[in-house]
């Protein structure tokens, strides 16, 4: 009769089990940290790419906003002069060339269109989370200011339409066109004031000398320009653009961009 001997099973000590557990735990933990670091590096790289793209958008916006401001400051100065002329003398005593020139700018018009493709892409894809808190907050605030300015422009459209209608009751469009052509030429080349001075010495006929019409025109224009320079105006937006550009340059080391 055979006797079967069972192989002797060596029992592991607690230390061996603990070491095996510790090695597995460390491997999983290190893998997790390695993956987290890899994701952080990838997200920072993406954030920097977005920051560079947004910085280029902002550069285009600031050029547009400075031109926008310059244009409306020029228009506002001319309207102020018209108001002073009308306050100091009877309409019929003022050279009509001056009335045509200064009155033209009540219908000044510019429309701001932000270069916000990068921001909208980040917003729709959830990529704003790649930005640090300060940059994300500054970008969101800039976008709100853009929307506010566009909303403000839409609200003043009705006033702008009324201004043009009222201007058409006072000024003959033929001479307005001449003044507008000179204004466009001057705006492209500020060194040549001669054509403006010559035009203001002429005496094109007005359609009306009615003081009431002129007063209504001035009041409507003043309402327009108050809206142009309110909190949603180009100055506020230009300031926020500068804040955002500075933040992006600092956080993503784009100082030389």
Asked if residue 99 has pLDDT above 70, the reply is yes
Interaxial angle between packed helices 96-104 and 14-88, expressed in degrees from 0 to 180 and rounded to the nearest 10: 170
CA–CA separation, 24 and 139 (whole Å): 44
pLDDT of residue 23: 73
Top-confidence residue, 249 or 154: 249
Tens digit of each residue's pLDDT (9 = 90 or more) over 120-173: 999 999 889 889 899 999 999 999 999 988 888 888 888 899 999 999 999 999
Question: Cα-atom radius of gyration of the chain, to the nearest Å?
Answer: 34
Tens digit of each residue's pLDDT (9 = 90 or more) over 18-44: 666 667 776 666 666 655 666 666 677
CA–CA separation, 64 and 173 (whole Å): 29
pLDDT of residue 199: 96
Tell me what the mean pLDDT of segment 60-87 comes to: 92
CA–CA separation, 156 and 230 (whole Å): 12
Confidence bin at 256 (pLDDT 50/70/90): low
pLDDT of residue 16: 66
List helix spans (H) across the chain: 14-88, 96-104, 117-125, 133-155, 157-170, 173-188, 194-200, 211-228, 234-251
CA–CA separation, 35 and 41 (whole Å): 10
Top-confidence residue, 19 or 222: 222
HSE value, Cβ hemisphere, 13 Å, CA-based, for 128 = 16
Confidence bin at 231 (pLDDT 50/70/90): very low
Lowest mean pLDDT among 58-67, 148-157, 183-192: 183-192
pLDDT of residue 10: 54
Note whether 47 and 130 are within 8 A (CB).
Answer: yes
Residue 35 structure tokens: 């993956």
Asked if residue 230 has pLDDT above 70, the reply is no
CA–CA separation, 15 and 56 (whole Å): 61
Asked if residue 207 has pLDDT above 70, the reply is yes
Instruction: Count Cβ neighbours within 10 Å for each residue of 101-122 and write b for 16 or more, e otherwise.
Output: bbbbbbbbeeebebbbebbeeb
Lowest mean pLDDT among 76-80, 86-90, 221-225: 221-225
Average pLDDT value for the chain: 85
Asked if residue 82 has pLDDT above 80, the reply is yes
């Amino acid at each position: 009769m055979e006797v079967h001997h069972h192989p002797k099973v060596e029992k592991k000590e607690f230390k061996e089990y603990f070491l095996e557990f510790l090695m597995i735990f460390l491997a999983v933990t290190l893998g997790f940290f390695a993956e987290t670091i890899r994701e952080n590096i990838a997200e920072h790289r993406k954030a920097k790419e977005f920051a560079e793209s947004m910085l280029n958008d902002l550069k285009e916006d600031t050029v547009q906003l400075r031109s926008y401001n310059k244009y409306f400051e020029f228009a506002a100065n001319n309207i102020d002069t018209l108001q002073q002329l009308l306050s100091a003398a009877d309409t019929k005593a003022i050279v009509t060339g001056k009335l045509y020139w200064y009155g033209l700018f009540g219908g000044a018009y510019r429309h701001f269109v932000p270069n916000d493709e990068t921001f909208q892409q980040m917003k729709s894809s959830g990529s704003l989370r790649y930005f640090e808190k300060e940059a994300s907050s500054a970008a969101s605030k800039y976008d709100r200011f853009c929307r506010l300015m566009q909303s403000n422009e839409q609200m003043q459209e009705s006033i702008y339409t009324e201004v043009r209608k009222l201007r058409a009751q006072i000024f003959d469009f033929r001479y307005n066109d001449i003044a507008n052509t000179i204004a466009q030429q001057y705006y492209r080349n500020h060194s040549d004031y001669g054509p403006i001075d010559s035009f203001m010495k002429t005496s094109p006929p007005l359609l009306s000398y009615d003081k009431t019409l002129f007063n209504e025109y001035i009041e409507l224009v003043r309402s327009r320009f108050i809206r142009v320079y309110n909190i949603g105006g180009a100055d506020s937006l230009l300031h926020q653009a500068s804040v955002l550009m500075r933040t992006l340059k600092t956080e993503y080391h784009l100082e030389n961009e």
